[in-house]
Structure 1
């Protein structure tokens, strides 16, 4: 076989040296294919062996390979699986990453010719191109080097050009392409470079020439993969360490220690460090980088005027996947970032969709509760939303809760009226963040004072007995300082917040809607989010002294401006290891004073509301 291969190579070299025309070379290859059908496979087998040759090729061998591939392109219409299965397998098994640009171009010319001339092999041609989205396993590490990045650009630009050419020649090809791309998508446990480069190709398809057919499928699949990674990052063990803790405070509220490591070890609730490596740190890093890729893609969509189109797909994906994912931790920030890029369009649309999901009676309770949790968190955290819009959304929430009270003149029953309690908790949470901004604008203050909040809180349904005590405590503190309504002795000093009844629905079984847009703990992703985000540490409340204000009444919308420095919570991350476990523990806090005791101390400084409500470990709570 070795002598035959050498003879065959020599024959091809002689053909090149004799300056045969392309037609003559094609004729030679056609003869080999025709003889193979008749049982004479010598020349055919040598041709197949040539395509299987994977060792480093000499310049002459490269020239021979290019010549052979071009000749096969000219004879593509005569190639079929019945007689030339081995040849087709060799063609489809060639990785473009192993060759230079001359061979790549010849490969793609052949693949395009095969797809255009034989409908039976279109699937295989598309499969071969999709396989080349990712380099061979041994090549992954080279992607970190300049020569690896150069090869990546050479391969992928040609792959996508070939996909476009095939789509032009075979109109049904894009519909065949989508399921293949989804099917070959790397699983969450695959290596990070493999996932990232594959998603990069998917996003390239989303914005490419065939996006009208494949674009929405690609984007939805990318979000689904992020959710897969998201749910692998668990924090149940952390919650069990401190079941009574509801809020987590921002790190900048923690007293500064001289040594950062000392602070990391000492500021954990309950004493010394209890570091337990959070399962899935590597997964968190993958998710972080995938989100950054998606953010950058959204930037390019905005620049090209496509953000509205892409946002509609994201919104569809959000309602199908993210909203229903049990307490997604980070993926939802893709929606937040898209809204920040277009506040007047996407930003308002997202809030309206969330509100509609909550107010629609036909939706399941868990969907409505999740939607209002997203709405409350979004209205509280999105710096780009006009305060007048927030006030209008708040009024819709309060009016709905008030109407619910009028229609249900019954006593407290958390399981039967969980949607109502979620709505009450939502408007109280929003007011914790926005009350000062509202009362600083006379028109909005009047609107706020006219809302029937007090009748809701005093209703037989008893929302103050079921909603999160920490939210209620902060809300009532601010309401008292703002003179929002008359806080009576019966409202404040009764045992409702700390009664046995309250505790029965507290802790692990509490109606503890989480607030999805609490500060993002993924460092790279957070750097994109921060300019659009309101941090609790920067919120001005009615309890704050006017002397501490940095903005005038005419600049009320700017009171949430944060400093240029990174938030201390994010800066505490180690550059080399994403230890969410230790960060979450450092942020954990249990309120030590009940509401009634807090109000007995008139001179006590208003305590700041920590930034994050921790999710329950009980799925039934949603």
Structure 2
């Protein structure tokens, strides 16, 4: 080490050539710390003064600071929180971001030594390190400069190395680290750079050396924060689609207002995306979700995705599933499934199906689960047709069993879970029916399902479920000849019937489809390759429908989402309204044949959201 000389203040060492050896200096500091307990503070106070942060340190001042920190590292067993409170306070105010690598290393050596010396300092040392996950506010601008990334890496790599050193020396430290990291997360009102950098370090912890212990806490904490931001946005900035008019805006008109590379299913989707621009909370949420996506990609590359998904799934069930005003957080689950369709993708669907079918779960949870399931199966391009059919079969079987146990009770709120299951079946088939009917074995499976008995049951699901979904489903079912009975179906003449409103009640879960197109621009770019848009779905009544293939194989993505914008517009000369449909109140004598020979033009909603107050969610 660099030598020191004795100052004129009773042998307190200061930097100069020659002087104390390392062991002598440590011994001197031990004596100095002990002297404080007897009331002798003069040299101690001078020592504390060296540790107070200063700007633009000279080389000699840097040398003194490094020597002082190293000497204290050797004397940590003599530091007492009661007598040396000012010393600990001075150290706590030091920031690695303000110093060069020599001071950084010396300060971290002191922190690690202090943590290993006495268990009562563990939390203090861990908090000291965690606070370095983000720099002081005045440092952020400098990180944008040419050497900013290098400066950031020098600090954070040392912080994480120190956390590992403490974990190695004190095996219980990681258990103490998790709550400290969570408690020190920036609030929902913090600025975006601070929050993003902190979360980066949380995810680095999750995938790092201590991840086995802290990983189960970091990801759920991130999901919770995403959800807090999500609900903070509220519905005020998002236009509510009226179920009577969601088909009025066609893609041809939308294209007039958008860039060619933008894809929207409705005018309101385009406007909502635009309305959210400039919203700081939205931007922060978007950036954090992208961080989560990148972390999931990293986990996939390292073979850890299944392990991480098993942590995310219970977190989703505990929070997001029961948060009916979640708009974007759920796409973290969607992306994880997209990265591993056969593993995570199937497991997610099965868990949602199990939550729905389990009578022990609260009705509101079961309704939400099946809404997630329907939206997921409809929108996930990566799911196989066979798996989708298996889930449809399970939903049909449940609804059919429910019907057999009930005679007649037209109180929709008493059967909300049943109606949510019926609506899920119809919604999925609106997106998937064409592709499933193109596969002979799956077509046969669909034709053998007792769906017709469900729709004609006295509980009248066709009168209660969301009218836009019912109408679209019946049109496709008719075109595909899904029902073998001679009688066909017609829909109620009241588009938003009292029964339908009663089913959703104040919660309006009949209109909740959580995987509607994502409005977050950066996040949507990751979701897009794996996502099915309604505007691209080939329906059973499309003019280009082909004969059923003799090849009993899975259809390709092109078979599922093959229509282009021009084809859609050509098919939409007119829109079928409820007045165009023959109405017969007897559900056993129904027909969906239009009064005129108009082409079918009604479209499924791109985003179905509450038509009542936003707070109803």
TM-score bracket for this pair, using the shorter chain length? 0.7 to 0.9
Q: Provide the C-alpha distance between the structure 1 equivalents of 2:243 and 2:539, rounded to a whole number of angstroms.
A: 26
For residue 454 of structure 1, report the CA deviation from its aligned partner: 1.3
Is contact 2:14–2:64 with CA below 8 Å preserved after alignment? yes
Paired residues for 1:304-323 under 5 Å = 304-323=302-321
Which structure has the highest helix share of the two?
A: 1
Aligned twin of 2:490: 492
Aligned residue for 1:120, secondary structure, equals: helix
Q: Provide the C-alpha distance between the structure 2 equivalents of 1:443 and 1:398, rounded to a whole number of angstroms.
A: 17
The alpha-carbon distance between structure 1 residues 111 and 362, as it changes in their structure 2 partners (threshold 3 A), is same
Aligned twin of 1:169: 169
Which of residues 394, 398, 422 is equivalent to 1:424? Answer: 422
1:603 aligns with 2:601: no
Aligned twin of 2:155: 155
1:397 aligns with 2:392: no
Is contact 1:243–1:508 with CA below 8 Å preserved after alignment? no
For residue 490 of structure 1, report the CA deviation from its aligned partner: 7.3
For residue 561 of structure 1, report the CA deviation from its aligned partner: 6.5
Q: Deviations over 1:12-51 (max 9, x none)?
A: 455x410532112212322322332232222111110010
Is contact 2:516–2:607 with CA below 8 Å preserved after alignment? yes
Aligned twin of 1:209: 209
Is contact 1:332–1:516 with CA below 8 Å preserved after alignment? yes
For residue 486 of structure 1, report the CA deviation from its aligned partner: 5.2
Is contact 2:463–2:491 with CA below 8 Å preserved after alignment? no
Aligned twin of 1:104: 104
Q: Deviations over 1:586-606 (max 9, x none)?
A: xxxx99545726722333234
Aligned twin of 1:257: 256
Q: Provide the C-alpha distance between the structure 2 equivalents of 1:195 and 1:33, rounded to a whole number of angstroms.
A: 39
- More divergent stretch after superposition (422-431 vs 506-515): 506-515
The alpha-carbon distance between structure 1 residues 493 and 217, as it changes in their structure 2 partners (threshold 3 A), is closer
Aligned residue for 1:540, secondary structure, equals: coil
For residue 275 of structure 1, report the CA deviation from its aligned partner: 12
For residue 416 of structure 1, report the CA deviation from its aligned partner: 0.2
Q: Provide the C-alpha distance between the structure 2 equivalents of 1:214 and 1:221, rounded to a whole number of angstroms.
A: 11
The alpha-carbon distance between structure 1 residues 498 and 141, as it changes in their structure 2 partners (threshold 3 A), is closer
Aligned residue for 2:156, secondary structure, equals: helix
Aligned twin of 1:36: 36
Q: Provide the C-alpha distance between the structure 1 equivalents of 2:345 and 2:529, rounded to a whole number of angstroms.
A: 15
1:299 aligns with 2:284: no
Is contact 1:235–1:278 with CA below 8 Å preserved after alignment? no
Aligned residue for 1:369, secondary structure, equals: helix
For residue 529 of structure 1, report the CA deviation from its aligned partner: 1.0
Aligned twin of 1:533: 531
Paired residues for 1:32-431 under 5 Å = 32-236=32-236, 243-245=242-244, 247=246, 252=251, 254-257=253-256, 281-431=279-429
For residue 545 of structure 1, report the CA deviation from its aligned partner: 2.1
The alpha-carbon distance between structure 1 residues 283 and 246, as it changes in their structure 2 partners (threshold 3 A), is farther
The TM-score normalised by the length of structure 1 is 0.86
Q: Deviations over 1:102-144 (max 9, x none)?
A: 1000000000111111222122111111111111121123333
- More divergent stretch after superposition (279-288 vs 163-172): 279-288
Aligned twin of 2:609: 614
Q: Provide the C-alpha distance between the structure 2 equivalents of 1:259 and 1:396, rounded to a whole number of angstroms.
A: 41
The alpha-carbon distance between structure 1 residues 218 and 258, as it changes in their structure 2 partners (threshold 3 A), is closer
Q: Provide the C-alpha distance between the structure 2 equivalents of 1:381 and 1:276, rounded to a whole number of angstroms.
A: 23
Is contact 2:416–2:503 with CA below 8 Å preserved after alignment? no
The TM-score normalised by the length of structure 2 is 0.87
Paired residues for 1:415-564 under 5 Å = 415-485=413-483, 491-492=489-490, 495=493, 501=499, 510=508, 512-546=510-544, 556-559=555-558
The alpha-carbon distance between structure 1 residues 601 and 556, as it changes in their structure 2 partners (threshold 3 A), is farther
For residue 342 of structure 1, report the CA deviation from its aligned partner: 0.8
The alpha-carbon distance between structure 1 residues 468 and 51, as it changes in their structure 2 partners (threshold 3 A), is same
The alpha-carbon distance between structure 1 residues 276 and 200, as it changes in their structure 2 partners (threshold 3 A), is closer
Q: Deviations over 1:163-190 (max 9, x none)?
A: 1111111112111111111111111110
Is contact 1:164–1:209 with CA below 8 Å preserved after alignment? yes
Aligned twin of 2:3: none
Q: Provide the C-alpha distance between the structure 2 equivalents of 1:31 and 1:564, rounded to a whole number of angstroms.
A: 83
Q: Provide the C-alpha distance between the structure 1 equivalents of 2:339 and 2:330, rounded to a whole number of angstroms.
A: 15
Aligned residue for 2:34, secondary structure, equals: helix
Is contact 1:380–1:430 with CA below 8 Å preserved after alignment? yes
For residue 616 of structure 1, report the CA deviation from its aligned partner: 4.7
Q: Deviations over 1:297-316 (max 9, x none)?
A: 11111111111110000001
Is contact 1:477–1:606 with CA below 8 Å preserved after alignment? no
Is contact 1:458–1:491 with CA below 8 Å preserved after alignment? no
Q: Deviations over 1:517-538 (max 9, x none)?
A: 1111111111111111111111
Is contact 1:247–1:614 with CA below 8 Å preserved after alignment? no
The alpha-carbon distance between structure 1 residues 145 and 552, as it changes in their structure 2 partners (threshold 3 A), is farther
Is contact 1:418–1:511 with CA below 8 Å preserved after alignment? no
The alpha-carbon distance between structure 1 residues 306 and 90, as it changes in their structure 2 partners (threshold 3 A), is same
Q: Provide the C-alpha distance between the structure 1 equivalents of 2:250 and 2:61, rounded to a whole number of angstroms.
A: 63
Is contact 2:385–2:435 with CA below 8 Å preserved after alignment? yes
Q: Provide the C-alpha distance between the structure 2 equivalents of 1:170 and 1:244, rounded to a whole number of angstroms.
A: 60
Is contact 1:381–1:535 with CA below 8 Å preserved after alignment? yes
For residue 395 of structure 1, report the CA deviation from its aligned partner: 0.7
Q: Deviations over 1:47-68 (max 9, x none)?
A: 1001003221111111111111
Q: Provide the C-alpha distance between the structure 2 equivalents of 1:317 and 1:515, rounded to a whole number of angstroms.
A: 20
Indicate the RMSD between aligned Cα atoms, in angstroms. 3.4
Is contact 1:248–1:614 with CA below 8 Å preserved after alignment? no
Aligned residue for 2:414, secondary structure, equals: coil
